[in-house]
Structure 1
Amino acid sequence: MRHSLAAFALALPLLGSTLAHAAPPQAGGQAPGWYRMKLGSFEVTSLYDGFFRLPVDKLLQTDDPTLVARRLQHHYLGLPLETSVNAFLVHTGEKLVLIDTGHAGQGGEATGRVLAHLKASGYSPEQVDEVYITHFHGDHLNGLVDKDGKPAYPNAVVRADQRESGFWLSDPAQAPQAARGGMANAQRVLKPYLDAGRFKPFDGATELVKGVRAVPAYGHTPGHSIYVVESGADKMVLWGDLMHVAAVQFAHPEVTIAFDSDQKAARPQREGQYKAAAEGGYYVGVTHVSFPGIGKLRADGKGYEWIPVNYPRP
């Protein structure tokens, strides 16, 4: 008994040390989702809204039944595919411009972070002068309003191609059944800006502020637009939904997606922008490429290689 008590007494300091140094619970979460780079004299900040889990094997359209699975396996990716949602903030020195706004949590808890990350990056929503929308799908549009339906960017003018607004803001009763939910959502989100006279559509190719211009890229939706940002010799093109699945569509630009309202029109838009980006050597910003969604393209056979922006940058 005496030996047992002595052994226990010797073990007490070790037991206390073990308890004192027990591992803490895992913290979870990530760093704030913003990434900033210079583009000439401009400043571009990528803002992470979150991600969707998409059944891309069912959404992507290709004649090769094994292509999607093979490409995902090549990139060590599975199904459903976690797909980023990014927005982009451009400071021209004169104007603060937000391009797309994220999904505002409408797709579940995994989205809805653009506003928080904009604030974490050093700006306030009241400072945003203009918001440009590539198209009126919810993951690009919904962040225009807060959870109470009030403008998230109370001082901003909202702009989009008139073909886009003309379709989504028209009478749902005259539209195909499949579009009516999206039309009701667009009308809900834009109502406070329409009521305040702060929604101003444009017609096709238009310079919106010095150094930022809209370029038609119709096909994904009736008025889908991309935005070209140029400062000095530097250039970035913000693609919206020209593409969705990097693991598949960079190597195979011909692959379309069920989200396209006109796949025959969307495909050549994507192929043309890929070719121009590879030949021009400029940056592109992409909504559904892994955050920060900024990089360059290099031609690789019949497809392209995606080269992400070097991280970190000053």
Structure 2
Amino acid sequence: MKPIRWLQTTLGTACAVSLLVLGAGVAAPLAHAGAPLVKTSAPGFYRMMLGDFEITALSDGTVALPVDKLLTNTRPGKVTAALGQAFLKAPVETSVNAYLINTGAKLVLVDTGAAGLFGPTLGNLVANLKAAGYQPEQVDAVVITHMHADHVGGLMAGGQRAFPNATVHADQHDADHWLSQANMDKATADAKGFFQGAMASLNPYVAAGQFKPFNGDTELVPGIKAQASRGHTPGHSTYVVESKGEKLVLWGDLMHVAAVQFAEPSVTIAFDTDSKAAAAQRKKAYADAAKSGYWVAASHLSFPGIGHLRREGKGYRFVPANYSVVR
């Protein structure tokens, strides 16, 4: 097909003629100089279908993390080199993601972002949920991977429950640990904030009778199952979502730094309660995802954080979802 016919077929006659005229040397209208920088991006949501379920990734924002100091079971120089291979350097601007699942019968939110508990660059989840076409009042259930501040802070907004009609679910082991005043009292000064954030976020739901913990592998609503993956925290959970033969596993914080931990799954992070168990869970999850080929998503993969895993040598390679528009 000749170029002009291809342009007409693909873009329409008017566009094709305009492009050819510009290409022939006719000057386009000049833009006005001195336009101010906008410095904002589009609303942070991304949508895909999983069988009959609609999955909406929601961005709470990004936060700069000194991962060269936070990653453990490795050498700092090795971390710096791995970051360099990905054209990154510390601190790494790290995504904080949550995932909204519309099963057709229930609207389920997996994690809630940080709200104001983790610095000024986060706290965008509710705004992005609204931009995606939903209201917080429509959420039926909030399921928590674990009770760190960047996963539970968004449960509250302005001193009120952000999701007033939702039942909140989390593993009993995390509730027993992070909602315990005795545990907070004996924690180090640096660690007390983890307990304070969890209590401030969860206790209003507990008081309202809207917190329902589970223990280990549990189906929460049809098509969404909690799967114990303890290590990063005492009750860390992943969530398995299945519809019409398609599967997505939401990893939570099984991994944090893609540029390092896909190639070296043994690398851990200072936030782990039990780093040895966390590494074992990560290796198990990676191997299963690569073998079975289902979708995976994680809280700190670059937004929207959805893709597949492929084994590569002794490690793995993350293959992000191809961008598409749901119709």
Alignment TM-score, normalising by the size of structure 1: 0.91
- Counterpart among 115, 137, 144 of residue 126 in structure 1: 137
1:45 pairs, out of 38, 50, 56, with 56
CA distance in 1 between counterparts of 2:252 and 2:105 reads 24
Match of 1:110 in 2: 121
SS of the aligned residue for 2:161 comes to: coil
**Where does residue 12 of structure 1 map in the other structure?**
none
Report the 3-state secondary structure (helix = DSSP H, G, I; strand = E; otherwise coil) of the residue aligned with 1:43: strand
Structure 2 residue corresponding to 1:163, chosen from 153, 158, 173:
173
How far, CA to CA, are the matches of 1:151 and 1:93 in structure 2?
24
Give the AA of the match of 2:88.
L
CA contact (8 A) 2:68 2:76 kept: no
Q: Which residue of 1 aligns with 2:148?
A: 137
Listed one character per residue, the Cα deviations across residues 251-277 of structure 1 (whole Å, up to 9, x for unaligned) are: 110101111010011001000000000
Aligned residue number for residue 260 of structure 1 = 272
- Alignment-mate amino acid for residue 154 of structure 1: P
Code of the aligned partner of 1:153: F
Shift in Å at residue 182 of structure 1?
1.5
Given that 1:283 and 1:294 are in contact with CA atoms closer than 8 Å, whether structure 2 keeps it comes out as yes
CA contact (8 A) 1:102 1:114 kept: yes
Matching residue of 2:159: 149
Match of 1:95 among 103, 106, 110: 106
% identity of equivalent residues:
55
For 1:155 and 1:127, how far apart are their aligned partners in 2? 7
In structure 2, the partner of 1:272 is: 284
1:243 pairs with one of 255, 259, 264? 255
Match of 2:227 in 1: 215
Quick one: distance in 2 between partners of 1:40 and 1:175? Answer: 47
Q: Which amino acid aligns with 1:243?
A: M
For 2:283 and 2:300, the matched residues in 1 are separated by 17
Name the SS for the 2:69 alignment partner. helix
Count of aligned residue pairs for this structure pair: 296
Structure 1 contact 48–86 (Cα < 8 Å) conserved = yes
Residues 62-101 of structure 1 correspond to what in structure 2 (within 5 A)?
62-101=73-112
What is the SS of the residue equivalent to 1:194?
helix
Q: Which residue type is aligned with residue 261 of structure 2?
A: Q
Give, in whole Å, the separation in 2 of the partners of 1:237 and 1:21.
48
In the TM superposition, what is the alpha-carbon distance from 1:170 to its structure 2 partner? Answer: 1.2
Name the CA distance, whole Å, in 2 between partners of 1:45 and 1:291: 11
Preserved contact between residue 69 and residue 76 of structure 2 (Cα < 8 Å): no
Alpha-carbon distance, 1:174 to partner = 5.1
The answer to whether the aligner puts 1:204 opposite 2:216 as a matched pair is: yes
In 2, distance between residues paired with 1:303 and 1:296?
Answer: 14
Question: Gapped runs of 5+ residues in structure 1?
Answer: 1-16
Deviation, 1:180, is 2.6
Match of 1:57 in 2: 68
Query: What is the aligned partner in structure 2 of residue 285 from structure 1?
Result: 297
Q: Distance in 2 between the 1:61 and 1:259 partners?
A: 10
Cα offsets for 1:81-120 (capped at 9, x unmatched): 1000000000011100000000113222210000000000
Mapped to 2, the partners of 1:198 and 1:313 lie a distance apart of 35
Q: Which residue, out of 166, 187, 190, partners 2:202? A: 190
Flag as ranges the 4+ runs of structure 1 deviating above 4 A: none
Cα distance in 2 between the residues matched to 1:209 and 1:77? 40
- Counterpart residue type for residue 215 of structure 2: D
Corresponding residue for residue 5 of structure 1 = none
* Structure 1 residues 236-259: Cα deviation after superposition (integer angstroms, max 9, x where no partner): 000010000000001110101111
Q: Is the 8 A contact 1:149 1:189 kept in 2?
A: no
Once residues 196 and 65 of structure 1 are traced to their aligned partners in structure 2, the CA distance between those partners, rounded to angstroms, is: 46
